[in-house]
Structure 1
Amino acid sequence: MVFIVCKKSRISSIYHLQAIFGSFDSVVDIKEIVCREKSYISEAEYYSNKYQIPVNSISSENCYIDLSLENFLVFKQKRISNLFHKDPFLRRVKNYQRENMLKKAISYQAGKPKSILDATAGLGRDGFICALLGQEVTMVEENKGMCILIESALKRLPNRSYFNDAKNRINVINADSSKIKLNTEDYDTIYLDPMFSTHSKSMSNKELTFLKTYIDQEQDLVNAFLKKRYKRLVVKREKSFKSESTKKENIIYKGKSINFHVFI
């Protein structure tokens, strides 16, 4: 998204940029890539060309990517990084085979890779776990800043075979997943996390605070996908969530803090 849209979200107002910063006439996203080190110039130019964002050595905006060994997305003097091989997410990576709830939700079968459309990629963490599990993952994320955080996290992974294999299974697309022209029936599973993983135990309090400030969520996205044709649709929800949809899930996999609602 150059895009975080303040629309009709039914999620608590703490997640609304509008409630925090007032009304917006346009969407919110990074305005530039800041690169101070020569060793990262080629990477900065790649993102600049792909996402049509200028590269500068000094920031002149309040929302930008600070490109370095540990990239940061900076917004209104707050910042967040995203490294798949560092804490707090590293704990999930080390134990990815124990992701039993997620495996059940996507109908995981060892040695039988499936195609996953992660339509709310966010920081790409659930999608990355799916790729480690051998699945072919298409991550769709509307926010350009988040897309760069995902791509840079993949680029900075250590040179190990299982990481390289996972990277090769991931395709990152910058688009509004409700409007992108993809045939949802081509995918074995459509995966939605409308809460953007802000309930995730693999995230620090600092990360949670940043995302609540930076991202506005669209509940309507779930309803849009429920109207599409699909083989399997998985929606990740907080345990306390009460659905207002008339369409009932076929299965609910219940965890301690989150549930996976599965529509078949």
Structure 2
Amino acid sequence: MNKKIGFIGCGNMGKAILGGILASNKISKDDIFVSTKSENSKRHIEKEFEVKTTLNSKEVAKFSNILFLAIKPNIFKEVLLGIKEDINKDTIIISIAAGITMNDMEEWLGDDYKIVRTMPNTPALVGEAISAICPNKNIKENELEEVCNIFNMFGKFEILEEKYFHGFIALCGSSPAYVFMFIEAMADAGVKLGIPRNKAYKMAEQAILGSAKLALETGKHPGELKDMVCSPAGTTIEAVTELENGGFRSTIIKALEKCAEKSKNM
């Protein structure tokens, strides 16, 4: 990919995306430029990724063919208006900010800019993100393909209408927290049953990783895969019954609904 990629802001998610891009070996470090808000952050990015950095966002805006806006929602408008005159009309602007809509960005920039709203999740840190991607009307098919190729470098993606982003945040953006809670609970149970804690965490983590991979690679319905483990009058169905008695599924559904509702009201 012969493109110059800029990052304005580079927190945890920005670094995850940057790391995924570099790990793919498809983009030269010379073609990446990052702006940060502090000298300390600048030094850390330089040391960790060995890319060009600056404290001046305007420089990055002028440099970039593809520009990631990895900045907090509360300063998004201020930063965007500050670089507006420095962004080339052919530059693809990629936002990863929660709560900043396409309409917001088009209102602040103008509706003739090329904008892609995205929502990755934190497994991008290990190249296993699931991201939602929504282009505006100015993004051409080949440009969308370029964006998708970048997101493939640190995980998987789905093209999604913006109206579904609240649901995506609940289902995928926030879900690592739910999974980590599940891992912690499983490990606590393992410890209660006598398994050393460090082993309990590793076993719980691998069990979840393996189960997700089995579902993805076989394409079988999760219910069918569950039934494969549940022998008649066996141990697993005892645990499944207890989970159902505790409202396991309904609690998860209610939690995701609350998350989506909060997203809508932010």
Asked whether the two chains share a fold, i.e. TM above 0.5, the reply is no
Query: Normalized against structure 2, the TM-score is what?
Result: 0.34
Higher relative contact order (Cα pairs below 8 Å, separated by 6+ residues): 1
Query: Normalized against structure 1, the TM-score is what?
Result: 0.35
Q: Which has the higher helix share?
A: 2
